[in-house]
A = this chain, B = another copy of it.
Amino acid sequence: MSGWELLGLSAEEWTAVQLSLRVATVATLASFPFGLAVAYVLARGTHPGLVILNGVVHLPLVLPPVVTGYLLLLTFGKHGTLGPFLAEHLGLVFSFRWTGAALASAVMAFPLMVRAMRLSIEAVDRKLEVAAGTLGAPPLAVFVTITLPLIVPGILAGLILSFAKSMGEFGATITFVSNIPGETQTLPTAIYTLMQVPDGETGAMRLVLVSIGISMAALVVSEWLARRASGRASLS
């Protein structure tokens, strides 16, 4: 008897759980470098054009998820603006694929990730970076050895927010890549489906509990890591 049977999940639901985990993990990790770069530029840059970038980053928060999903469909869909290009040159196909669900999640969570990291970067004492420079470290080395370790709390916060959001993202995902079991049916879309039929609530609530369980586990791990990191950094 497998774990999912113990939880009273159907095979399809178990697939949705696995898929959600994969989508959330990939969405979080794949958007991390971009999130970090954007956070850094927003925190440190002085170019007036950054106000636009900042606005764009916040869009997924401001727009109703269906709109974001629809825009994703128009951009990354099979016949979208970038879709064919990405498919041809990078082999990246998003339309109606789990990768698309990951993209939708990543986009929706992006403002949260960026803001958390940006706050941390802004809190870094730049005198320490200057000190590293006087010891001969070029800017990239300063970033990797000084800035990055000092913003671990912000990075972890950004990652966990992104992960949690991915576990709950539904509107953009279902609009962009539909709700195809085994491919794009994540936990939240499965929950949605169950909520749409008579007597579906019980099933939905079971999945909700699974989703909460996963997210709480991720949360606890992130808090533990954060505590470890800050414990390493200071004590007094």
Q: Chain A: residues with CB nearer than 8 A to chain B?
A: 51, 54-55, 58-67, 70, 111-112, 115-116, 118-120, 122-123, 127, 153-154, 157, 161, 164-165, 167-168, 170-171, 188-189, 191-192, 195, 201, 204, 208, 211-212, 215-216, 219-220, 223, 230, 236
28 pairs from A and B in contact (CB 8 Å cutoff) = A51-B220, A55-B215, A55-B216, A58-B216, A61-B161, A61-B164, A61-B165, A61-B167, A62-B164, A62-B168, A62-B212, A62-B215, A63-B168, A64-B168, A64-B170, A64-B192, A65-B168, A67-B195, A67-B204, A111-B161, A112-B112, A115-B116, A115-B161, A116-B119, A119-B120, A123-B123, A170-B171, A171-B171
Smallest distance from the beta carbon of A233 to chain B beta carbons, Å?
11
A51-B223, A62-B215 known; A67+B120 contact, CB < 8 A: no
**Chain B residues near A153 (CB, 8 Å)?**
119, 122-123
Contact present for A201 and B116 (CB under 8 Å): no
Taken together as a complex, chains A and B put the C-alpha atoms of A61 and B63 apart, in Å, by: 16
Taken together as a complex, chains A and B put the C-alpha atoms of A209 and B231 apart, in Å, by: 46
**Chain B residues near A66 (CB, 8 Å)?**
170, 191-192, 195
**Chain B residues near A55 (CB, 8 Å)?**
212, 215-216, 219
Interface on chain A toward B: helix, strand, loop, or mixed SS? helix
Smallest distance from the beta carbon of A183 to chain B beta carbons, Å?
18
A58-B215, A58-B219, A111-B161 known; A67+B208 contact, CB < 8 A: yes
**Chain B residues near A154 (CB, 8 Å)?**
119
**Chain B residues near A192 (CB, 8 Å)?**
64, 66
Taken together as a complex, chains A and B put the C-alpha atoms of A219 and B61 apart, in Å, by: 12
Smallest distance from the beta carbon of A20 to chain B beta carbons, Å?
11
Contact present for A195 and B70 (CB under 8 Å): yes
Smallest distance from the beta carbon of A115 to chain B beta carbons, Å?
6
Q: Which 8 A-B pairs have the closest CB atoms?
A: A123-B123, A64-B188, A62-B215, A64-B170, A61-B164, A62-B168, A119-B119, A55-B216
Taken together as a complex, chains A and B put the C-alpha atoms of A171 and B66 apart, in Å, by: 10
Interface centre among A60, A122, A236, by most B CB within 10 Å? A122
Taken together as a complex, chains A and B put the C-alpha atoms of A35 and B90 apart, in Å, by: 43
